[in-house]
Structure 1
Amino acid sequence: MRVLIIANRLPMKLTQSAGRIAFKRSEGGLATGLASLHTDVETHWLGWPGLHVEDDAQRTHITEVMSRHSFHPVFLTEQQIEEYYEGYCNNVVWPLCHYFFAYIQYDKKTWEAYLEVNRLFFEAAMKLIRPGDVVWIQDYQLMLLPGLLRQAMPSLSIGYFHHIPFPSFELFRVLPERADILRGLLGADLIGFHTPDYMRHFISAAYRVLNVECDLDEIHFDKRLIQVNAFPMGIDFEHYYKAGTRVPVRTLATTFRQQFGAQKLVLSVDRLDYSKGILHRLKGFAAALERRPDLCER
């Protein structure tokens, strides 16, 4: 059995400088979370390499190098990156799922690009899939892909995991393409979410939009039974536990102690995004200092 992971991004980043392309392992949350699976079973990964590449010779070179690591690139045009990824994914689905309704910037052409790229991934996947393979589709950028694969291969084992919140029906229903997205997701045999709340929101949306028969963790759709459940992604405890014993880490810790002395170090790591609550954290820290002035400069 092989597992084919299909995600918007490959776990290998491309960077370009002075006309040369360099390869580097991605440190993103999705790539890190699935790293152990990639070593436990024969796994192939299909996704965008993260860089716009037009030159055919460069595309061939990238494909050859990545295939040695069982990574298979899907190349996107600049327009597809702008309209599918920056447009529909990041300006519509992302704020909708995070309850930032006022941040949604809807444009019909971005939905058309979303359709186009999901079909592009479908065509690439069909070239890789073998009998007996398990396909595991990752996240909101590819919500139509399970349905496309199901139509082409009715007996294929398909899983889908939604790595961000799934909103309540009251918010999800404002999406013009809500029915198409739900039908796409229901092409999977198993649909996973991080929390039971997200799972219940999805089941509620499927029931109210598509009028399907639902149980606690099952949906009856198109003469099939789809399992829906919560699978919170954990961390690699052993990796971080053992990291504290490594010489480079201990050396850096000693440097920090010498630099800060008795001062407490507060650390928060996130990319600059309105959903990360960075401003709220800063306000919380400021409020703590106002209430406890004895902590200032400590």
Structure 2
Amino acid sequence: MSRLIVVSNRVGPIGDAARAGGLAVALVEALKSSGGIWFGWTGDVIEEADTRLKLESAGPLTLATIDLSADDFDAYYNGFANRSLWPLFHFRTGLVQYDRDNFAGYSRVNAAFAKALLPLVQQDDLIWVHDYHFLLFAEELRKLGCTRPIGHFLHIPFPPRELLTTLPNHEELVKALFAFDILGFQTEHDRDRFFDYVRMEVGGSILGDKARCFNRTVTARAFPIGIDAGTFANFASTDDGQKQFASMRDMLRGRRQIIGVDRLDYTKGLPERFNAFERMLEDHEEHRGEVSLLQVAPPSRTDVSEYQDLRLELEGMAGHINGRFAEFNWTPIRYLNRSFARQALAGLYRASHVGLVTPLRDGMNLVAKEYVAAQDPEDPGVLVLSRFAGAAKQLTDAVIVNPYDVQGMADAMNVALTMPLDERKDRYTKLMKVISEEDIGHWRTSYLEALSSVEHAGVTGGSLHGDQNGAVA
């Protein structure tokens, strides 16, 4: 069995992966089963560049990390990754900031990380690179002579050609993707947008799941990520889950609750969600005093002005709606800027009659799947899901909404709140079947089988016709 090397911006945790989330669980299980290395950034920012590896043994796997200098962190992470790629790949071109120095820093960090990893790569290794932070990583490894199979999985959406071409160095980025052997996307729509760029922008060709361009060929497929549905369902029965469930039901006193759980980010559609909840209260007086919205929104990227502005906007909106509709014993919106352990979240989900997952654009959105998994099969809540979340391609029995349509979302919340039990149970059963069959283990296994097949076919280096070293043409 080939050893696995996982590359991601952040590494770990290992000992408490289940608490951290589904991705950590999946990667830890893959690494434990094959043995291997998890490589990435320590999370520490230092004054001067220092790419010396820090190695830590954790049973059959090794954690390998390096620090980032303050300049590299600003250019690579805060700059190009999160001010250029993140908004662009979420279709928010108006928020994209492009700076050549930031792209130079992004390129420099990809190259430095590749150079640091190379001495650890053995002749039978598979390399699995994750997300938008490392789009140039395989190309940098190929320049150093690495011929091992290298796969990439993009956790966020892939943008349409018309948007991607607004980035000055779009062709350079896409060419670098052809140094990978496998490109994994959340949905077929994402994969097809990549194919469209290859055909229409750079004159490449598509045959089945393979794209040919720049004298290289890459396999591109959809691998929708899942959750460990059984484990998450059991979280609701843990001590912490039951405590949160009982506490919430006691507080509601027979009233009903809609819940939203999202990182505080402009891609999540939170202002639109608050507007829709206000519209529902305007249109349906029967829900006033009887239905509340619990919005959990842990802060992120607090040093970025767009995120600071969003937090102020939401605080103002919650205050306005509460001031308009609140009663002495009922608050319409409870808005919490904090995180919860996943066991506690499972209890909150089960205590909530509606799960509101309405991003403006999302690669997958695992909250939608977690909400369903946490429900009581005998009295399940209803998932209201944005059509622009990758999860909507699988979870077709949710109540699907357009997050830009405030009135439509308000109507959907009312439909969910008034849905008969038989229909709720039927939708839950169908959703749970999908979530259980296409879970995190299925995602991990199907991707690694595809990557391993590259080695078995003797085709590596991001090219079917490259030189024997797999170097970039």
* TM-score, normalised via structure 1 length: 0.87
SS in 2 for 1:34: helix
Residue matched to 2:195: 203
CA gap of 1:281–1:40, structure 2 versus 1, over 3 A, is: farther
Q: Which of 87, 92, 95 is the aligned partner of 1:100?
A: 92
- Deviation string 1:200-247 (CA, Å, 9 cap, x unpaired) is 111121233332222231112455432101010011101111112223
Residue in 1 aligned with 2:35?
42
Q: Secondary structure of 1:123's match?
A: helix
Letter matched to residue 112 of structure 1:
A
Which residue does the alignment assign to 1:17? none
Q: 1:262 is paired with a residue of what secondary structure?
A: coil
Which residue, out of 276, 289, 296, partners 2:288? 296
Query: Alignment partner for residue 157 of structure 2, among 155, 165, 171?
Result: 165
Distance in 2, Cα, partners of 1:191 & 1:150: 16
Aligned residue type for 2:6: I
Distance in 2, Cα, partners of 1:29 & 1:79: 32
Is the 8 Å Cα contact of residues 48 and 70 (structure 2) preserved in structure 1?
Answer: no
Aligned-pair distance for 1:294? 1.1
CA distance in 1, matches of 2:102, 2:23: 24
Query: Cα distance, 1:55 vs. partner?
Result: 9.3
Structure 1 residues 101, 222: closer, same or farther in 2, change over 3 A?
A: closer
Q: Aligned pair in 2 of structure 1 residues 39, 296: CA closer, same or farther (>3 Å)?
A: farther
In structure 1, distance between residues paired with 2:235 and 2:215: 50
**TM-score, normalised on structure 2?**
0.56
Cα pair distance change 1:125/1:221, threshold 3 Å: farther
The residue correspondences of 1:247-286 to structure 2 (distance < 5 A) are 247-286=239-278
Alignment-derived partner of residue 103 in structure 2? 111
SS in 2 for 1:71: strand
* CA separation of 1:27 and 1:54: change in aligned 2, threshold 3 A: farther
Q: Where do 5+ consecutive residues of structure 2 fail to align?
A: 291-473
Query: Identity of counterpart residues, as a percentage?
Result: 27
Q: How many residues align?
A: 286
When structure 1 is superposed on structure 2, of 35-44 and 233-242 the one drifting more is 35-44
Q: How much does 1:123 deviate?
A: 0.6
The answer on 1:6 being equivalent to 2:10 is: no
* 3-state SS of paired residue (2:43): coil
Say whether 1:63 aligns with 2:64: no
8 Å contact kept, 1:243–1:249: yes
**Aligned with 1:8: secondary structure?**
strand
Give 3-state SS (helix, strand or coil) of 2:258's partner: coil
Letter in 1 for 2:234: K
Give the letter for the 1:145 counterpart.
Answer: F
Distance 1:178 1:217, change over 3 A: same
Q: 1:241 to 1:143 in 2, by over 3 A?
A: same
Alignment RMSD (CA, Å):
2.6
Indicate conservation of the 8 Å contact 1:150/1:188, yes or no: no
Is the aligned partner of 1:237 residue 2:238? no
| More moved, 278-287 vs 206-215 | 206-215
Cα distance between partner residues in 2 of 1:30 and 1:109: 32
CA distance, structure 1, for counterparts of residue 106 and residue 256 of structure 2 = 46
Task: Find the residue that maps to 1:226 and give its secondary structure.
Answer: strand
